[in-house]
Structure 1
Amino acid sequence: MAGDALSIAASGMSAQSRRLRHVAENMANADTPGFRAKRVAFEADGAGGVRPGGVTLDARPLPRVHDPAHPMAGTDGFYEGSNVDLVMEIADSREAQRSYEANLRMFDQVRQMRTALIDLLRR
């Protein structure tokens, strides 16, 4: 039972870690022309935990940016920017961080309970 709880908490930490990696990549590429934000969906695994699913690209249209001096600008002076919304990415990173920390606390609590049980059994 404790092993199951540890596995579930570990799966949550792993999934949120992957989510944070994609959020960081999105934020780093917010000014990269043509970059589409990446999203990670979660799937339930058979043991009650969670695992990251496939990565999808944000389907929102890329904004047209007018900058005739930009090397990627067409003859009309426009180029396609990135569809990364920094406010959403910051909110997403905070949510993922809090979820990771909650799973870490659960992992630690189960570990402490297991240690206390072993100590009781030794007496």
Structure 2
Amino acid sequence: MSLFNIFNVAGSGMSAQSVRLNTTASNIANADAVSSSIGTTYRARHPIFEATMNQAQKQQQSSVGVAVKGIVESDLPLTKTFSPNHPMADTDGYIYKPNVNVMEEMADMISASRSYQMNVQVTDAAKSMLQQTLRIGKS
């Protein structure tokens, strides 16, 4: 694997973790949203990643990057609360809250942040190795 390929792999990892951080932040921001119907209630979203194997097979590489295949909504049940005095209550007096678990989202955010940070460190190490190689070749 060439050092230049490391930049591609680490860059795709940073891009994927950036999407993961954004969806997690969106989930946390909407955790306290209230709705009057199941259909309009915010649902937790999570990115789905895939290795870019097709590209690696075409180029016969041993290293592959990662791509965001899509973002899916969680199918966990929503929280239904009886609150007839709430302004968003439906005709039966219920309000609906998102299926976002803030503790899980915070753990996911920490994990995504650390993964992003590790990809940055890999990029910095590769850059340092390339600079050393250039210095050796210059001497």
Q: TM-score range by the shorter chain?
A: over 0.9
Q: Say yes or no: does 1:43 pair with 2:50.
A: yes
Q: Which runs of 5+ in 1 are unaligned?
A: none
What CA deviation, in whole Å up to 9, does each residue of 1:53-111 have, x standing for no partner? 11100001111012212222123221211101000100000000111111110010000
Superposed, which structure 2 residues align to 1:4-23 within 5 Å? 4-23=5-24
Superposed, which structure 2 residues align to 1:19-98 within 5 Å? 19-33=20-34, 34-45=41-52, 46-47=55-56, 48-98=64-114
How many percent of aligned residue pairs carry the same amino acid?
38
Tell me the TM-score normalized by structure 1.
Answer: 0.95
Tell me the TM-score normalized by structure 2.
Answer: 0.85
Q: Which amino acid aligns with 1:36?
A: R
Aligned counterparts of 1:88 and 1:82: Cα–Cα separation in 2: 14
Aligned counterparts of 1:69 and 1:116: Cα–Cα separation in 2: 69
Q: Which amino acid aligns with 2:68?
A: P
Aligned pair count? 123
Q: How far did residue 31 of structure 1 move?
A: 1.0
Aligned counterparts of 1:69 and 1:120: Cα–Cα separation in 2: 75
Q: How far did residue 25 of structure 1 move?
A: 0.5
Secondary structure of 2:31's match?
coil
Aligned counterparts of 1:69 and 1:16: Cα–Cα separation in 2: 41
Q: How far did residue 117 of structure 1 move?
A: 0.1
**Structure 1 runs of 4+ off > 4 angstroms?**
none
